[in-house]
Structure 1
């Protein structure tokens, strides 16, 4: 049977069973227009001719809001709009429901009667059930060629999401949904009681699985925080949710179709909610519903081993760091998140693995299907879903260009990093995982300027034992092959919550709360265990320890006393010790700017944590997309603060490094070097571009060019323009 005939038969059967004079189906086209695709009761000549925009009339209102409308007197509704070609002015009562699939509106199903009447809840349920069937017809492409306007339905149209760049790079590939929507093929049941029993059994199994996950303590390994699983447990026992699914089954659906219907209804209703807590709870519910669907269809609540294409781009609402590591790295081309911030655990890991990431791409999961072509631009934050050929070709050329540039950078790997006028600039790399270590050699880094020891803790199921810590730290030193390595002691708290760390408080502003050095000094056992492992791993070598988020100088004294206690302990029991031990501090809290001389005298080296220092100076949360880019990193205010640090370090001959995102961008790196900060630590991929810029720069000339605007209060944009003009004049790629 032809698609149009099937659709015509469906609307006729609905009209008959609902005792309705009119039944109509409107499909949403790729141009945002709702086109009448089938009708009984309206003028048949209006089919494929009558059109409404999103938000126009009652049908457009339903499509725009994804909510049903049930009206006894439709013509009195403020959104009512008469379309002369349809002849619908005779009809008063109106019931319309959105045609939904995966929470996405594909059209509208409507019944109308001449008599003034209100449709019952059971009739609304029946309409929503049939709308699901029509939604599958639309989604499978059965109705693709019916439009007289020749416009595709809203299925495979190109969509661009404007997200936030979280990890540099460009990835072209195909969508792999992290929690893929389970395709329900059996819609209607033959035995209601049997389906109710299937649902009950699946729920029981799901609840046992969640309880088992909690009791085994493998929460972190599964990538779900414990409080999320507790929420799962609450949802899994929620009587209202179960009753809605049971009601859908009693209305004729299979157990899995009932779960999908309730899930789709909930998605549509909460799609416009802006409250972050409620949206997070919706994500919890969505994940749980998917688990239940997999339990019903495959008998397993998890999606098991993933069969990835060679060019996989993971699309997810959110995910944990350990979950990303479950995917084979050689097939990953990118990651797209509906949520996520630069400091998210998964983003930190993705950046370490050189995986392009875009975050804040709201709605991308619902708009995607596994296998869709996709481009993730980690430079701009743009995500192109089902891109047009010219867009794909442009990005493919961009990738080839970047590959050629990377090849050029590789030829510079063994060249000393020295400016055109003979000033050395040391380029180090940031790391935190074993997967980072081969890049020390590959990138040509002069060493590891920041090893984030907390990443080992964040991806573990339980607190790593001292022996495991020692093995990791020894591996890092071995991989560095004599190059300097700076280990930052445990920097947890704030946004870096360990799921197995039960003493973490619920803080209103965790970035300014109990974290990093504050936590370590209050819980000295954590720091002592880590320091002991580091001392043993560095036996016979140099050990550089860096203290994070130092706020007052006495914190350095306390930490140094604790470290020296561990040195004495190991010495007493005959353990090998480092040949040299250097203790440094991260300068990321503005209070230290007012005691720079005291700081330089107390430590062996200083590292500027530019990310936190910048956000604290401007009271701008770098994880908040509304303010993260509001302030200029090259503003004279911030640059003068950095120069004061560089001057103090020079006075005291204290080695100074800057770790942070600005170190890895060539333009900003040139500005930093001009200020006198000549040791920079960055991601491995950034070393080549920064070195290429350094080699061509006459640092004395650049320093002279920015001196006046730096001292006389010009804007950051002015300083940026000066450096850009200098780069263009000297063929320096930025």
Structure 2
């Protein structure tokens, strides 16, 4: 079939004549009564452009939207469909002009290239029949060839396969904050596959081996580059990536495809497409990131295989770029000109993705989980990436772009103002001092401490390095990481939260059984107490890393005082073990508990008498208190953190800490919002931990406020039965700050 198709493609005639020959050739080779090609048009519409077997009058008349009918369903999902009785499928839609009512079985595959579905190839039989997996794979291979014709504009009207030009806003997930404006540059396979059928399989195998050797050499040079010279998680993930590039499994599948008659390039593309299709329904974030790494390796290998081939990228847009991709491997972002790359937008991706770690090291705004991003964006489209609010604006109007540029200018002015306050302590005008700390989970985050004006790390999330590793890190690896964190902190306090795994943070090195409600299931301290060796190894590493420095350890998801005692006893065992073995002990050890489970609030006074400090995880405490998933679109904003009920809960925790003489910190998102930060200070909290980008705004608000005056008003509001007192607090703060001195300009409470 491949050779027949190659002969048709190489023959003469118009593009339409070749299309007609192609569908006739495929139908004959498959013994099918029908073979049809649908091509994507503007607005995500599919149009019948060639057919053998359907009514010829339906050509260029039959159209359907993505998601409409079986053909639209295939295009929308990007996955093949093979049905013995197509008309019984819930997605089946009848188009009377085609005359297809007499056909029972249907097999359709997406015509995909460069992460984008360009059309659908369909086979139909009159009789009901089961299509084999080999048949589906064969038709997918044929679709690879058709994709080259469509993307190259060889099919009539296919050059019009563009977006409709209307402005679009797409909401996603924040991966790295910041703002960026530029033109879209699509990240896509760089090599055009000119030959699909191998003339000499042995020669193709030799070409593959040479390309593998060249790729491994280039990865070694990349790791030695200036951009990646510094130690840290970004380097560790690239070293893991290098291991993936040597994986024998996927290389073996490429060799098998070459033996089957494909060229080396086509074999790589075949294995890449197969892997993506098989993993399309997988939701596990670790496995999704491994898929991104494998796809990156496949594209990189194709580049080394055909270094002189014509790149298939559209012309580079002028000026600054916003890189667009379904997913991105950690090494790929370094292939682009850093002086022009301003932002990154991904259909997939998460805050723990490998590329996210590298992007943070390069200070690039990133938004992930943007649905249908590749379906909306065309090369050269103007884009705005708003990493702070997790949104991307596609083809924004000039007014919107001007507004964002103005916003970026204001942001630059704010940063300059905050930078001037960097070394100034956060002391209110009535003398109340609030320690402003930062949340971190990476070495690159800790490196921002001085620039952000943070006095220390109030929450170091130790689970992130675990999430990006294939194997559970041993004591030596953990010790090295924690030591680097303490060294980077340069004497400032660092509070390490013990492993907070489980729930939506599943360790790739640890087996997690499915749970109906993982947020309330086996996670965090519950895992640590059931698997004490894991928790003891982490505590052992923390003790070794301290090397005479003070050590602060915080235990997450504490539900009862007994659980805290059990966790503390494990640390005591490790401290005794260190003494017995002559390991240098920390200068001082402080053990605290995160308060994020409502049951613990009812025992907070007893806990405060046993803990060295407390830290309120306001995000989880709020969602558990109101039984409202903060990730749920319909309920996430239903209950306000400035509800008097929640304020009374926070007040009780602060009072328990004060009575016991121990410090209490808030380390959730609430601490990083200026208005909420003022309220927390009024409730008695003297330490707040937040994202580094929030420190400047919070400090400015505290410097301009009178906390004692605000305390009386907040105490009054906590006694109300209202569901929220946000508006009252906003008005109160604005009025009090409006006429303050020029040295402390007014803040916008929700800034």
TM, length-normalised to structure 1: 0.72
**Equivalent residue in structure 1 for 2:149, among 137, 162, 165:** 137
Superposed CA offset, 1:471-510 (max 9, x none):
4255145253xxxx142253253266666x67x6657448
| Counterpart position of 2:747 | 732
Q: Is the CA contact 2:272–2:298 (under 8 Å) kept in the aligned structure 1?
A: no
Which residue pairs with 2:725 in the alignment? 719
Q: Report the 3-state secondary structure (helix = DSSP H, G, I; strand = E; otherwise coil) of the residue aligned with 2:688.
A: strand
8 Å CA contact 2:345, 2:385 repeated in 1: yes
Partner of 2:94: 80
Q: Residues 45, 598 of structure 1: CA spacing in aligned structure 2 closer, same or farther, 3 A cutoff?
A: closer
Deviations 1:151-206 (A, max 9, x none): 6535998765321335443234577888x545342243252755886799799999
2:432 is the alignment partner of 1:423: yes
> Which region of structure 1 is more displaced relative to structure 2, 633-642 or 123-132?
123-132
Q: 2:412 aligns with which of 390, 395, 403?
A: 403
Query: Which of the residues 664, 668, 674 maps onto 1:660?
Result: 668
Q: What's the CA shift string for 1:90-128, capped at 9, x where partnerless?
A: 997798765332564323567999x99999999988876
Give TM-score, length-normalised by structure 2: 0.71
8 Å Cα contact 1:316/1:338 also seen in 2:
yes
Query: 1:626-665 to 2 correspondence within 5 Å?
Result: 631-665=639-673
Residue of 521, 532, 536 corresponding to 1:522: 532
Aligned residues: 686
Aligned with 1:712: secondary structure?
coil
Which digits, 9 at most, give the CA deviation of each residue in 1:522-564, with x for residues without a partner?
22642552353255241xxx55444444444345555556656
Task: Say whether the 8 Å CA contact 2:322–2:383 is kept in structure 1.
Answer: no
1:276 match: 283
Q: How far does the alpha carbon of each residue in 1:2-57 deviate from its partner, in whole angstroms, 9 at most, with x for none?
A: xx974223124336645799987653222233456678999999987775555667
Q: Which of these residues, 440, 444, 451, is aligned with residue 442 of structure 1?
A: 451
Q: 2 CA distance for matches of 1:699 and 1:339? A: 43
Q: Deviations over 1:639-680 (max 9, x none)?
A: 221111012223333222111222112232233223222321
Distance in 2, matches of 1:11 and 1:219, equals 47
The match for 1:611 among 594, 597, 619 is 619
Q: Do the aligned residues in 2 keep the contact of 1:551 with 1:591 (CA within 8 Å)?
A: yes
Calculate the aligned-residue CA RMSD, in Å. Answer: 5.7
**Correspondence for 1:215:** none
Distance 2:425 2:574 in 1: 38
Could you tell me how far apart the structure 1 residues matched to 2:505 and 2:177 are?
22
1:505 and 1:535 map into 2 onto residues whose CA distance is 31
CA displacement, residues 72-94 of structure 1 (integer Å, 9 cap, x when unaligned): 999xx9733345xxxx6699779
- SS of 2:547's partner is helix
* Structure 1 residue matching 2:725: 3-state secondary structure: helix
Distance in 2, Cα, partners of 1:512 & 1:675: 31
Residue matched to 2:221? none
Corresponding residue of 2:44? 32
1:691-702 alignment runs, 5 A limit: 691-700=699-708, 702=710
Structure 1, unpaired ranges of 5+: 210-217, 301-306
Q: CA deviation at 1:71?
A: 11
CA distance, structure 1, for counterparts of residue 332 and residue 609 of structure 2: 44
With over 3 angstroms needed to count, the CA separation of the structure-2 counterparts of 1:181 and 1:366, relative to structure 1, is: farther
**Per the alignment, do residues 366 and 195 of structure 1 end up closer, same or farther by CA in structure 2, a change over 3 Å counting?**
farther
Q: Is the 1:202–1:292 contact (alpha carbons within 8 Å) kept by the matching residues of 2? A: no
Q: Which deviates more, 644-653 or 50-59?
A: 50-59
Question: Are 1:298 and 2:304 counterparts?
Answer: yes
2:388 to 379, 398, 405: 379
Which 10-residue stretch deviates more, 360-369 or 693-702? 360-369
Unaligned runs of 5+ in 2: 1-8, 218-232, 307-315, 739-745
